[in-house]
Amino acid sequence: MLIDRDTSTPTAVPSKAERPVAPAKATSQPTAAKETACFRTNDSPEFWLERVSDRERLNEHLAAWEELSQNCIDPNSFYEPSLLLPALEYLHNDEPWEIALVFRNNKRVTDPPVLCGFFPLQRDRIRGIRLSRLRPLTNWYCYSTTPLLHALYATEAWDLLLAWARSEKIAVLDYPRFRGDGPAAQTLTDVLNYRHLQPCLLDRHNRALLIRSDDFETYQSRNIRGHNRRDMKRLRRRLEEQGQLEFRKLDDASQLTYWATSFFELENRGWKGDQGTAVSQNEQHAEFFRIALQNSWDAGQLQMLGLFLNGEPIALKCNLLSSAGSYAWKIAYDETLSKFSPGVQLEQENLRVFHEETDLQWMDSCAIAAHSMINRLWCDRRTIDHLLIPTGRLTGELFASSYPLLRLAKKRVRMLLGKPARK
């Protein structure tokens, strides 16, 4: 209608971050100011925001960015250097983007400033009414847009972002794929309540989440029904009858290229290859994937698991590790063996490795809400929101508050015309 649709374990926040701050009063900053200019407010002069829109300047903040990535309140692999840098080069190279960096003066003047917030963004106008907005940077391979926020200064980072956006004449922040049940969302709620701003919830769904249990067998017995476990064991035996079945983990850097190539081949032979959505069918996407895997491996943030039959891969899985959590990023399997459920068999191995060989506390499935396979195997859920957040400008508040009524009106018109209603 009026707005483009996105198609697609909380940790304790220190008390200082939970306390809402006063709405920021912006110091006068010209909208067309140079990128190097810093945005500050009179209420919190020790914090400032810098806007970066080229990779060279972004690399100047790499050390602070990496430190924040490992210590933020809501880990997000997709906004860490390993994935975001190749994404900027290969997936967003022909479109404008900007990173809003929120800093705070260090208590020791000899130390560098503390990076408190990392917000990858794009700005455009809402279709139909040309209302200015900021959207988080996202793509086909990004399953979370939750920004990276310092545990002590998350509230201040959100507050300064809103003040800066308002000074830039941005009406709304349009946030899809945003974790709605985590500490980043909680601190955002504090800031919006203090500013008397009401966000509009455009969409909400749950996706499968794996949370550590006592051990693998306990997780199986508590969360997977008995007949499902028996079916998986039966299919495993039938698969073993086809030849030598072997589970492997990538543990040698020299084998990374082989695993990546094998993943491409499995995807190409399946339904994604038929629909033209396999990674390797787009050279830019394939190069992004290769470099993202290499970067993640070098940073110790990649886990690749595989099932091999007679020495050939029949199912491969890529997991991205981030602090105490992880993301089940990509999986591919040989669809000619689908009657043996090789993907499910590999997922069983993933559950075992998660409990027995790692210290991870959770794994996000990155799956759609109604994914029948993963929803059957993983019992916990993570809430994913699509929020429309007014910045405090009148036009933005009017649009966010009236959008539910406009959406209802459009739904009724489509019904009267005999057209299927859209979500």
Q: Does 223 lie in the same domain as 168?
A: no
Question: For 30, phi and psi rounded to 5 degrees?
Answer: -65, 140
Q: Does 392 lie in the same domain as 276?
A: no
CATH of the domain at 240: 3.40.630
The whole model's pTM is what? 0.88
In a domain, 6, yes or no: no
The DSSP line for 127-178 is TTTTEEEEEE---TT----PPEEBTTTHHHHHHHHHHHHHHTT--EEEEEEE
Q: Per residue in 308-326, pLDDT tens?
A: 999 999 999 999 999 999 9
In a domain, 339, yes or no: yes
Please name the amino acid found at residue 279: V
Q: Does 219 lie in the same domain as 199?
A: no
Domain extent, residue 276, equals 213-360
In a domain, 8, yes or no: no
Q: Does 217 lie in the same domain as 189?
A: no
Please name the amino acid found at residue 370: A
Q: Does 189 lie in the same domain as 84?
A: yes
* Helices 342-356/216-223 angle, 10° precision: 130
How far apart (Å, rounded) are the C-alpha atoms in residues 396 and 198? 10
Q: Does 408 lie in the same domain as 356?
A: no
**Structurally, how many domains does the chain consist of?**
2
Q: Does 238 lie in the same domain as 180?
A: no
What integer pLDDT is reported at residue 227 of this predicted model?
81
How far apart (Å, rounded) are the C-alpha atoms in residues 64 and 137? 20
Q: Does 234 lie in the same domain as 140?
A: no
Q: Does 183 lie in the same domain as 45?
A: yes
Sites in the chain below the pLDDT cut of 70? 1-36, 421-423
Q: Does 271 lie in the same domain as 407?
A: no
SS3 247: strand
Cα 296–263–308 angle (5° rounding)?
110
Q: Per residue in 122-155, pLDDT tens?
A: 999 988 888 999 999 999 999 999 999 999 999 9
Which of 105, 142, 137, 131 is CA-nearest to residue 118?
137
What integer pLDDT is reported at residue 329 of this predicted model?
97
What integer pLDDT is reported at residue 423 of this predicted model?
57
In a domain, 1, yes or no: no
